[in-house]
Structure 1
Amino acid sequence: SRKRRNDLRLVVDYRALNKQVVSDKFPLPRIDEILDSISSKNKIFTSLDLTQGYHQVKIKAADIFKTAFSTSECGSYEYLRVPFGLKTSSSALCRPLLHLLRGLNNIIHFVDDVIAMDKDAEDHLMTLAKVFEKFREGNLKCRPEKVNLFQTKLKFLGVVVTQGQISPDPEKIESVKNIKPPQTIKQLRGILGLMSYFRKFIRNYAQIAKPLTDLTRGNPQKITWSKLAQDSLDHLKKALTSEPILCLPDFQTGQFVVTTDASTKGIGAILSQIINGEEKVIAYASRTLTTGESNYSATQLELLSIIHHLEKFKHYLVGRKFKLRSDHKSLQYLQTFKKPSGILARWILKIQDLDYEFEHLKGKQNAPCDYLSRFPDNAPLENENEEINT
């Protein structure tokens, strides 16, 4: 295939080989955790893109023959370096890159993209010097046209990062404006997958998307596309294209706040941080209840919400004293339960290593989380089937 003018990329069908290749269990970093590691203190950014990233990793001599492929006009070839299309290619690049950059502060990377970030230009220059020295050590090369030095705004992994804020990439969501009503269940789930990727930016995402997620329930063969579903799609498109903004966390100063709630439909939470006396939203979260959880008592549901969301936001909270808010007053005794038993005891053990102070909210004060719990995120079902009637 042709990538750019006079620039060809070989695409080899390695499906048969992939069936024989042992899976590499090296864990790739989670995108949400990468983005969460960007501090609001960072004001200067540089992005580096490795030139043909996979091709910078050599293949063991004994394995080269396995990559052989033939062409109709130019003969047969073997790859000397990791090709695109092998199921272990990403791990083969990420593992050495992780070890190479280990110990460097203010560096994040995802596959062949490396980001350096600092609070000022002087510190940034020192960071870049260390990064480039590591690249020389590992014999890694960057693509010059994709090196962006000393930026105050950076596009990375589908979002735009600027001083203290994060928002969806306008280029990535431009196509959202042109989304048409889906014709198949598969198309509908594709739309929901796209919207869900950006749901941390959309307050009350679950309530807005509910008419669409309801259409995927029950493994339907055909679904009627209604005005309610169209209104839901239009609302989501508008929410994403209006450039919603969340704040980046400040890991040096400012107290984190986790506000939770639960209902008979689901659990919800808001992660925020108090910076310079002002509380700023970092992320929204919610989910539906399982069949078993729907039988929990009110106290169990509230505690479930706390446990689930403290686990979800744990990388923000470990080693820091934070504020935990709930409108269920009995939970203020979490840290002083005399003899908890059963599931309650197991849950309390899960959060005993966290340092928090409990704050009771009256129901009206907890309206945002109450809304999230009553209209939680509903992940689309995995099965996909036939047509949607419009």
Structure 2
Amino acid sequence: MSSSVKKVGGFVPSVEEALAALISRNSISSVLPEYDQSNLAVIELLANWFGDLGFAVEILPVVGHPGKANLLATLGRGSGGLVLSGHTDTVPCNPERWSSDPFTLSNRDNRFYGLGTCDMKGFFALVLQAVARYEASDLQQPIMVLATADEESSMSGARALAAMGKPRGRYAVVGEPTSLRPIRMHKGIIMESIRLTGKAGHSSNPALGINSLDAMHDVLGELKNLRRELAAKYQNPLFSVSVPTMNFGCIHGGDNPNRICGSCELAFDLRPLPGMSNDELRDEIRRRVNPIAAQNEVGFEMYSHFPGIDPFETPASSDLVQVAERLTGFSSEAVAFATEAPFLQQLGMETLVLGPGSIDQAHQVDEYLAHDQIEPCIELLCNLIDRFCVTPSA
């Protein structure tokens, strides 16, 4: 593993030292308040490291989310440049199921184990090694390191940056675990609930109430029709699941077998392909459910569990995609999981998802980053910096 590097202003920690420090700082984000933690300890650690390397560092609090912040560290000047982006939070974990403490880095079996080693604190440890090789005077365009909050829950950090209009690079690499294979498209996601409200009553006489569970049966049938229609209309063979998907995740209604079900709620997700619109899908669902609710004489509400993530696609012809394909030796691919890439793309940057580690390790017990991903990743990052910051094309 790389040893500590001497730089003006101090020492750059080795990969192992950096990983150990990052993993030790609990930055779990969750929609459940009892699990949710601040990410400021990680942000401040990164700010110190990149500041010591001569980067101009901005810590950007996420408005409305106390204890949460983004970081933007910039080396060099110019209107273009390369953004290396990652999130500082992790998912919750079950420490009792781990073979070792998830907040203490464990080095065994040619792997680094710990919560976030793969998804995705490990990326920052490798970025640190790559950028330590450069001074501002080497660069014609800037290197920008972006560290965000709450990717695993609300994506509030990326949403805040998009609203602020920063960063303003020309190219962006999101270092999610892709086994160092370039990903140029992924599906979007919306998570919605439909609530139907009828009238409870004694089950011996159906006329005494309005059964919302009966109405939900009709709604489910119509949503299944929509699912079939979307699958017939939209396909993309680059995805392993080539059609948009809709999953009925949970349903709750009523309170007793001998009582007419007064209210019923269905929660579901829908993952659209690039080229589909989240807002148009929501509108279509409302259009289909409204007449069912009216026919069944039930109240109808539909609400989103979070604002959603748009589908993402960067053209295969983009400079960033073609350079990444050449450097990695892999053709660009598509994945089903969502990332912060659409928010960076909204800022006008050519964007790619490309990072160390396997997505199969993300969110798992005994999460790890394999040693054999480390040096290839550092070299790849240096090659990208050379191409887009040191000797950028006109």
**Which structure has greater helix proportion?**
1
Greater relative contact order structure (CA < 8 Å, 6+ sep): 2
TM-score by length of 1: 0.22
